[in-house]
Amino acid sequence: MKYLYALVLALLAASGSGAKEATQLAEDPVVEQRLIAISEEMRCLVCQNESLAGSRSDLAMDLRRELRGLIKQGKTDAEIKEFMVSRYGDFVLYRPPVKPTTWLLWAGPFGLMGIGVMALFMYLRRRNASMTPEELTDEERKRVEALLQEGEK
């Protein structure tokens, strides 16, 4: 395990890109903090199940470089988001915006739940209606009383 760790460290040092990343972190922690906050909300397009903050793909590194530049230029979060969306589409955002094409996505689950609740109510009401309590006839009542008295003895 120790050897593996040493090997990884050596590889990182050798690749240079890792080293560069580290110096930039030290350079301006405030920028880096914002970069992480923004890029965690974005998808890396090369490895789609990774966030832009976590990915080590070349494109993700380049994009982080670009975003770092934008942050240093004093762009707002909304402007940075727009930079990404205008290039890669809403797909880069882990939280899709609410707009006509995503209404179904946002409202769909609630709609399905509504349908389910309605179906449940309808079913319960129909079942209630079908189960009219049966009245006992006088003869049956007498038999019940007789049986109960018998039981008490």
Q: Any contact of residue 45 with other proteins (CB under 8 A)?
A: yes
Number of shown-chain residues binding other proteins (CB under 8 A): 15
Q: Any contact of residue 66 with other proteins (CB under 8 A)?
A: yes
Q: How far is the CB of 134 from other proteins (least distance, A)?
A: 24
Report the residue number, 6 or 122, with the smaller CB distance to other proteins: 122
Question: What x-and-dash track marks residues 82-101 binding other proteins by CB under 8 A?
Answer: ---xxxxxxx----------
Cβ–Cβ under 8 Å, residues 92 and 56? no
> Which tokens sit at 73?
């230029």
Q: Phi and psi of 27, rounded to 5°?
A: -60, -50
Please name every residue paired with 146 in a beta bridge, in sequence order, or none if there are none.
Answer: none
Report the residue number, 34 or 84, with the smaller CB distance to other proteins: 84
What's the angle, vertex CA 96, arms to CA 90 and CA 100, rounded to 5? 85
Report the residue number, 10 or 119, with the smaller CB distance to other proteins: 119
CA distance linking residue 47 with residue 4, whole number of Å: 24
Q: Any contact of residue 109 with other proteins (CB under 8 A)?
A: no
Determine the longest span between alpha carbons in the chain, in angstroms. Answer: 99
Within 56-147, strands assigned E span none
Which of 40, 58, 77, 140 binds other proteins (CB under 8 A)? It is 58
| Residues at the interface with other proteins (CB under 8 A) | 45-46, 48, 58-59, 62-63, 66, 85-91
